[in-house]
């Protein structure tokens, strides 16, 4: 067992996303799927990786990406609650931002949700590290 990353910060992620023209966001999808599968392996589910996310999102015109995010958020929150921690990003906040608040706030809420996604994965990884004494 290896220690999972718990220090992904918002500002560095935003900077790397801008500098790499969004490629860093693809890396995060890969990392989130890998880390979630490690931490949540006891639930018997599997979060698909970057290749499936990328190609199925293209084929479904972005719908698969939304479904993937919803499943990932739910899986992470279930893991946290199961281990006595507070939920991170709520699914309702994600969907409300995606379909309404994001464009009404000229994209500011998208950035807030990105921040909450980072903290959600950090919380899952931190819980995993604590439970396994890493």
- 26 found inside a domain: yes
- 134 found inside a domain: no
Measured N-to-C along each axis, helices 50-59 and 63-82 cross at an angle, to the nearest 10 degrees, of: 140
Mean of pLDDT values over 72-96: 94
- 70 found inside a domain: yes
- 5 found inside a domain: no
- 91 found inside a domain: yes
26-83 pLDDT per residue, tens = 999 999 999 999 999 999 999 999 999 999 999 999 999 999 999 999 999 999 999 9
Structural domain of 93: 10-129
Mean of pLDDT values over 4-11: 95
- 103 found inside a domain: yes
How many domains, the chain?
1
- 51 found inside a domain: yes
Could you tell me the pLDDT band of residue 100, with boundaries at 50, 70 and 90? confident
Structure confidence at residue 66 (pLDDT): 95
Using CA atoms of 96, 81, 49, 62 in order, give the dihedral in degrees to the nearest 10: -10
Mean of pLDDT values over 83-98: 90
- 66 found inside a domain: yes
Structure confidence at residue 101 (pLDDT): 83
């Amino acid at each position: 067992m290896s220690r999972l990353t718990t220090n992904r910060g918002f500002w560095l992620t935003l900077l790397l996303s801008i500098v790499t023209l969004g490629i860093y966001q693809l890396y995060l999808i890969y990392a989130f799927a890998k880390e979630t599968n490690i931490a949540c392996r006891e639930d018997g589910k599997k979060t698909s990786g970057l290749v499936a996310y990328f190609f199925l999102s293209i084929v479904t015109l972005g719908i698969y990406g939304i479904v993937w995010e919803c499943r990932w958020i739910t899986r992470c929150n279930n893991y946290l609650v199961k281990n006595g921690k507070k939920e991170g990003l709520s699914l309702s906040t994600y969907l409300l931002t995606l379909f309404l608040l994001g464009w009404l706030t000229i994209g500011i809420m998208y950035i807030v949700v990105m921040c909450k996604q980072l903290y959600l994965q950090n919380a899952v990884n931190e819980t995993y590290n604590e439970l396994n004494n890493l």
